[in-house]
Structure 1
Amino acid sequence: MNYAALIPARGGSKGLPRKNIIDLAGKPLIAYSIEAALGCAAVGGVYVTTDDAEIATVSVEHGAQHIARPATLATDNASTFVAIEHAIASLAEQGVKPAHIVLLQPTSPLRNAHHLADAIAAYEAADAPALISVCEEEHHPYKNFRVDGGGRLEPLFDAASLSKPRQELPKIYRQNGAIYIIRTETLLREKSFYVAGCIPYVMGSDASVDVDTAEDLLRCKTILDASAKEAGRE
């Protein structure tokens, strides 16, 4: 297997309870990520790593394979890396050893199969060690302040940038959580999805919605509804 898609989905969620399987336009949230991976020809296997029986059942119903994650790797303090490391080891025990890992977070439902195929193509064309999807930062950090020890504002970067038009400032990007691609051996060695030489895959703001609150979920629904209406007029 060249590419394996791993979708981490623990049962606990503080901000939006049960968010990984919450309904979004008639489907559980995690189904969108599973369908994106299944719809990408380059992906050889789609696996959901979870500690939660209901999430596992829903995931399998939508076409993914289940990797049982120990509860100790599904706490609030457990990193995504340790869950993925466990998943890679579990696959290896089954004789499945993908050359590359594609991490898809289930809270990015508007990332689709086209984005995924496009990102893999860019990753291969660049012969890069890793790829991280990003979008342009809406609030430019050069406009930010910090508070000094005396309770006074000071520029986070420099005073001149505070009054510059945004167009004169360098473009700044933030990771949007939708797509991470990395060679498996590199991930296990570096223990990080970011490595030197990593390339960006730039996505629009709508496709970059990360569901963490009820407001985020509503925004996704609005975007999906608008897209469906547009498709109906074509």
Structure 2
Amino acid sequence: MSVTAVIPARGGSKSVPRKNLRPLGGRPLLVWSIEVARQVRAIDRVIVSTDDDEIAQVARRHGAEVHRRSAHLATDEALVIDAIREVFDELNQGGEAPEVMVLLEPTYPLRSAQDVAECLSRLVVQGLDSVATFKAAEVNPHRTWRLDARGRPTAFIDGSDPWLPRQALPMAYQLNGAVYAFRPDRLPQDGKALLFGRSGAVIMPAERSVDIDREHDFVIVESLLRRAR
């Protein structure tokens, strides 16, 4: 079964300028995802989708192929799924369409090769269309509130008891965005989600689910890396 990993890496970033090339633990943020993908035996190709010359150079230097994405897919409003479709269409036109694709956002440097491999295994063994990684919800929805027009709080979920001890609440999860594995020929033509059809989940711990979005996230991950040495 052919498997291609795609790492979307635009040159622009409003929260942290040049974020995908920002050093983390001694190497550019982008490189963490390339290296993880190359550690997974099932992955045949690693492709970085970018609009940026410097990102393209770094990607090639660390063993990835480069797909130069269209200009309209390099804006802040562009959807990752459309960049994925563009890569798949180009591979398909060249007779190299993979049976499975893996999306690895470059902002999750602490995901492991095992996280990726587990998603692929579940996809194949269970015959699924898509698999994504999740983590325990940071706030259990049974402990959330809504405020009415007069500012009066009521439980967000009707009938829930926000005062129950944590152990008595049902377990809740949220997508962490670290790994998506899917069959690209089954992607909905007009959908926005990479979790579709017969889907499955792989649970990741919070410490590997850090999403680098702001300056302080770099500080957090650098601290975690120092503690792990």
Residue 160 of structure 1: how far off its partner (Å): 3.8
Deviations along 1:188-228, one digit per CA (max 9) or x if unpaired, are: 5463312243111100011100000111111111222222x
Matched, 1:202 2:203: yes
Could you tell me how far apart the structure 1 residues matched to 2:6 and 2:170 are? 33
Q: How does 1:105-124 map to 2 (within 5 A)?
A: 105-124=105-124
Structure 1: runs of 5+ lacking an equivalent: 230-234
Residue 44 of structure 1: how far off its partner (Å): 0.8
Could you tell me how far apart the structure 1 residues matched to 2:188 and 2:93 are? 16
Q: TM-score, normalization: structure 1?
A: 0.92
Q: TM-score, normalization: structure 2?
A: 0.94
Paired position in structure 1 for 2:173:
173
Aligned-residue identity in percent: 36
Letter in 2 for 1:172: A
Q: How does 1:76-225 map to 2 (within 5 A)?
A: 76-158=76-158, 160-189=160-189, 191=191, 192-225=193-226
Could you tell me how far apart the structure 1 residues matched to 2:204 and 2:117 are? 13
Letter in 2 for 1:202: I
Residue 71 of structure 1: how far off its partner (Å): 1.6
Letter in 1 for 2:212: V
Q: Quick check: 151-160 or 215-224, which moved more?
A: 151-160
Letter in 2 for 1:140: N
Paired position in structure 2 for 1:74:
74
CA contact (8 A) 1:32 1:112 kept: no
Which SS does the other structure have where 1:48 is aligned?
strand
Structure 2: runs of 5+ lacking an equivalent: none
Could you tell me how far apart the structure 2 residues matched to 1:196 and 1:142 are? 27
Which SS does the other structure have where 2:111 is aligned?
coil
CA contact (8 A) 1:33 1:112 kept: no
Matched, 1:14 2:14: yes
Letter in 2 for 1:110: L
Paired position in structure 2 for 1:5:
5
Could you tell me how far apart the structure 2 residues matched to 1:95 and 1:123 are? 23
Letter in 2 for 1:219: I
Could you tell me how far apart the structure 2 residues matched to 1:86 and 1:148 are? 44
Deviations along 1:11-50, one digit per CA (max 9) or x if unpaired, are: 1111111111100011000101001111111001000001
Q: Quick check: 196-205 or 46-55, which moved more?
A: 196-205
Could you tell me how far apart the structure 2 residues matched to 1:122 and 1:185 are? 18
Could you tell me how far apart the structure 1 residues matched to 2:120 and 2:150 are? 49
Residue 114 of structure 1: how far off its partner (Å): 2.1
Letter in 2 for 1:204: P
Which SS does the other structure have where 1:175 is aligned?
strand
